[in-house]
Amino acid sequence: MTKKIMCLCFVLVASTLLAQNTQSVDIPVQSLYSNKVRIKDVYFNKKVDLTGKGEVLEVEAILENLTDDPMDVYVNIIATYEKEEKTKSSFEMPIPEKERVRNFVPFPDDIANYQYPDGKGGNKLKAYPKNTKSGIDPLTGKLYHLPVNDIVLVRSTNLAPYRKDFIFFNYVTILVFDNNGNPILREVFELKGKRK
């Protein structure tokens, strides 16, 4: 009887410790649209970095307020290069998890905000910030302000550094959060062809 009680206590303590170390974040896997705000237009501009470190992707997103009230929002823009899983049969080996994302540059630039535990003692990058209130306007140091039935321009610069196996970005994810840090919009754009 005491062995059963000891075993039960051990299981409860272990499960309590594991529950404290896991971080639960609701990350939308698909696009998220809102009746409050929308991306009216988005522009992508590729140029060479003046310091010679790599190539820069400039993203300009025009956000439109669809409500009758002014609002303040947080905006995060993540540029990535992701290998696509295209197999012709089920016998082909899948792409290893660590090789799926080769370039990951967030704006604002805080890579630790996008690192999540992988369950194996390491970290993996996800295009969703842990701190959803990090996407402030770098010019004002405050949230992006959307006037009533008006627009605001959000700009980001994402550097793809030169290296031996240089690759540019092929996806851009734009995330918009309300002033409480709740997600209200998520759109993923695929970059195809040459950008000028």
pLDDT on residue 185: 94
- Which stretches of 36-181 are assigned E, i.e. beta strand? 37-48, 54-65, 71-82, 101-107, 115-117, 123-125, 144-146, 151-161, 171-177
Q: What domains are there in the chain, each with its CATH number? A: 34-190 (2.60.40.10)
pTM: 0.78
pLDDT on residue 158: 94
Q: How high is the mean pLDDT in each 10-residue block of the chain (196 residues)? A: 52 43 52 89 93 93 94 96 72 67 90 89 89 94 92 94 89 95 94 61
Alpha carbon distances (Å) from 77 to 33, 56, 94, 111, 142:
16, 14, 28, 12, 16
